[in-house]
């Protein structure tokens, strides 16, 4: 009786491990939706390569990191209905990441590659990749393969080996083109039992080696990018989707990606939405970059910023994965990111995450605004906040930095020629520059010390103190002199009632001035000048 029981167990075991044959009805069909989980750990490259007859592949220890749903669209439900729905009558299309490397380079060169689909024709004898649909800078294009890429020939049985070659090009108007070419070797190299968190199944194992080159042509420049990979696939009867699929890429981007058919696991979406800001303290003139670091491959993004006194700049919006934001009002902002996958969604909120301060005010002063040629002037930065860099500019630029440079905070400058100088200071806060310019701020006269003393000695101002009028007399011809009055704080006072009695006498009406101390500056005909204090009663 014991021997009979053992025989029955062996018989059941051998039946459960029986070889199977995969037909076209066992793989996806149009409008199928298949939920899968994805991870990058739990299987090594050596374990993935393990195969043979009557083999048990036990991967029940896999833990899902992300989860998604793969949809098999009718060509008419994609942006490429003309290219593959009408002209080539594809059975279905699926979203494809086969051009990720080119998409990255395209973004760098100003060409936006998106909405990549692979289009397949499924018959009872074969599953054929007919080409790919791509949108380049908003224009839907088709990479039609000729020869086409035969993925599987049916039925799939242990020991089958097939080799196929494929090649295709899409022309980008006024730019160049995108092309793919390569070879696919498919081998059914094992059969047995596979176990995953989803269940256990009789299966066949398929190894696919793809040697591929993706190229982007920009005018006369062509960039070929190797896209070689090995795909291990386990198929079971009537499941329509691989029980397990492992993709091993080579080269600089070498990686092992594991995904398997699964049930809904809500825990895989917990903490899937993640993001960072380029800075958390800024001003209303600073642009803040928000970057999604969410796990997996979200299908869409939604940013919510509270309060909503913000502007999305640089062509970005609240649905961009990495938007650029200008905060328009001071305060503390809370930011929320919601990411949506085919199979679920998640969101995360960072409360009081970004603090926005008022725009900085750039200002400066000089220890004197009237100087002689060759005289030193000290400039002092009076800007608010904490600038990170400075840049001084003078127009005309006939100056010499005596102490410091144009990048110093408080330089000392010598003016090498007479004239009226405009002074600009650009102060940068983080990466945002702010500039203030004072036109005609420094007046430089070509005068010697002796000339100044001689000119000053000839000036007589009376009466002083005065109430309504004062007189200015000189041994020099002052009929063409410029007269300026300043209050005790250095503010220039406009006085229009000036009467030139003769070449050496001037009458000045001061009746409009308030009581106090003032300074009269007189610029002589030969570029000399003299300053005198007066008192208005």
pLDDT, tens digit (0-9, with 9 covering 90-100), for 363-407: 999 999 988 888 899 999 999 888 889 999 999 999 999 999 999
How many whole angstroms separate alpha carbon 211 and alpha carbon 321? 32
Polymer length of the chain: 537
The stretches of 281-418 forming alpha helices (DSSP H) are none
- What is the per-residue pLDDT for 219? 67
Over residues 75-84, mean pLDDT: 90
> Considering only CA atoms, which of 127, 222, 144, 135 is closest in space to residue 180?
144
- What is the per-residue pLDDT for 43? 94
Q: What values do phi and psi take at 328, rounded to 5?
A: -90, -5
pLDDT, tens digit (0-9, with 9 covering 90-100), for 82-98: 889 877 788 999 988 77
**Would you call 254 exposed, middle or buried from its count of C-beta atoms within 10 A (0-12, 13-18, 19+)?**
exposed
Instruction: Yes or no: say if 166 and 196 are a contact pair by the CB < 8 Å rule.
Output: no
Q: Which residue has the tokens 């699929």?
A: 245
- Domains of the chain and CATH, by start: 17-266 (no CATH), 270-357 (2.60.40.10), 364-445 (2.60.40.10), 449-536 (2.60.40.10)
Q: Count CB neighbours of 314 within 10 A.
A: 12
How many whole angstroms separate alpha carbon 447 and alpha carbon 418? 9
How many whole angstroms separate alpha carbon 123 and alpha carbon 89? 12
**Strand 370-372 to strand 432-445: parallel, antiparallel, or no bridges (unpaired)?**
parallel
- What is the per-residue pLDDT for 396? 94
Instruction: Yes or no: say if 512 and 495 are a contact pair by the CB < 8 Å rule.
Output: yes
How many whole angstroms separate alpha carbon 503 and alpha carbon 233? 105
Instruction: Yes or no: say if 213 and 224 are a contact pair by the CB < 8 Å rule.
Output: yes
Two structure tokens written together for 78: 């994609």
How many whole angstroms separate alpha carbon 358 and alpha carbon 283? 6
pLDDT band at residue 118, thresholds of 50, 70 and 90?
A: very high
DSSP state of 14: H
**Would you call 110 exposed, middle or buried from its count of C-beta atoms within 10 A (0-12, 13-18, 19+)?**
exposed
Q: Which helix (H) or strand (E) holds 463?
A: none
pLDDT at 161 exceeding the cut of 70: yes
How many whole angstroms separate alpha carbon 188 and alpha carbon 160? 5
Helix (H, G, I), strand (E, B) or coil at 486: strand
How many whole angstroms separate alpha carbon 205 and alpha carbon 188? 6
> Considering only CA atoms, which of 275, 276, 278 is closest in space to residue 287?
278
Two structure tokens written together for 499: 């009467």
Q: Which helix (H) or strand (E) holds 164?
A: strand 161-172
Q: Count CB neighbours of 81 within 10 A.
A: 16
| pTM of the shown model | 0.61
pLDDT, tens digit (0-9, with 9 covering 90-100), for 306-361: 999 999 999 999 999 999 999 999 999 999 999 998 888 999 999 999 999 888 88
pLDDT at 106 exceeding the cut of 80: no
């Amino acid at each position: 009786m014991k021997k009979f029981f053992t025989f029955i167990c062996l018989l059941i075991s051998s039946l459960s491990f029986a070889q199977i044959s995969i037909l076209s009805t066992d793989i996806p069909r149009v409008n199928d939706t298949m939920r899968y989980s994805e991870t990058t750990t739990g299987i090594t490259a050596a374990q993935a390569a393990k195969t043979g007859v009557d083999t048990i592949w036990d991967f029940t220890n896999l833990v899902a990191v992300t989860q998604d749903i793969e949809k098999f669209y009718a060509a008419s439900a994609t942006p490429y209905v003309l290219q593959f729905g009408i002209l080539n009558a594809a059975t279905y299309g699926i979203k494809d990441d086969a051009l990720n490397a080119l998409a990255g380079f395209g973004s760098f060169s100003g060409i936006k590659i998106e909405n990549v689909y692979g289009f397949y024709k499924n018959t009872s004898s074969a599953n054929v990749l007919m080409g790919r649909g791509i949108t380049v800078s908003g224009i839907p294009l088709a990479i039609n393969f000729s020869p086409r890429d035969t993925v599987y020939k049916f039925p799939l049985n242990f020991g089958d080996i097939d080799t196929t070659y494929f090649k295709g090009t899409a022309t980008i108007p006024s730019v160049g083109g995108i092309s793919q070419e390569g070879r696919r070797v498919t081998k059914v190299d094992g059969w047995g039992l596979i176990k995953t968190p989803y269940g256990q199944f009789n299966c066949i194992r398929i190894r696919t080696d793809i040697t591929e080159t993706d190229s982007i042509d920009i005018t006369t420049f062509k960039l070929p990018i190797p896209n070689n990979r090995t795909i291990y696939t386990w198929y079971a009867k009537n499941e329509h989707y691989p029980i397990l699929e492992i993709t091993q890429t080579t080269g600089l981007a070498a990686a092992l990606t594991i995904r398997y058919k699964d049930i809904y696991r809500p825990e895989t979406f917990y903490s899937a939405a993640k993001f960072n800001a380029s800075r958390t303290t800024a001003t209303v003139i600073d642009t803040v970059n928000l970057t999604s670091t969410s796990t997996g491959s979200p299908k869409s993004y939604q940013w919510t910023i509270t309060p909503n006194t913000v502007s999305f700049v640089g062509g970005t919006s609240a649905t961009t994965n990495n938007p650029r934001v200008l905060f328009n009002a001071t305060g503390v902002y809370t930011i929320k990111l919601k990411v949506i996958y085919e199979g679920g969604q998640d969101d995360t909120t960072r409360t009081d995450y970004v603090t926005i301060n008022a725009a900085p005010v750039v200002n400066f002063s000089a220890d004197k605004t009237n100087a002689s040629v060759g005289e030193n002037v000290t400039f002092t930065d009076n800007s608010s906040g904490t600038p990170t860099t400075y840049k001084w500019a003078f127009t005309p630029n006939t100056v010499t930095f005596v102490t410091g440079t144009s990048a110093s905070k408080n330089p000392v400058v010598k003016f090498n020629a007479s004239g009226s100088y405009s002074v600009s200071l650009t102060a940068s806060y983080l990466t945002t520059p702010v500039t203030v310019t004072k036109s005609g701020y420094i007046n430089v006269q070509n005068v010697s010390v002796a000339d100044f003393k001689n000119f000053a000695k000839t000036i007589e101002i009376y009466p002083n103190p005065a109430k309504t009028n004062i007189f200015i007399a000189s041994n020099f011809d002052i009929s063409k002199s410029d007269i300026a009055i300043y209050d005790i704080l250095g503010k220039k006072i406009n006085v229009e009632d000036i009467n030139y009695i003769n070449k050496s006498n001037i009458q000045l009406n001061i009746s409009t001035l308030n009581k106090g101390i003032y300074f009269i500056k007189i610029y002589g005909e030969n570029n000399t000048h003299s300053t005198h204090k007066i008192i208005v009663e």
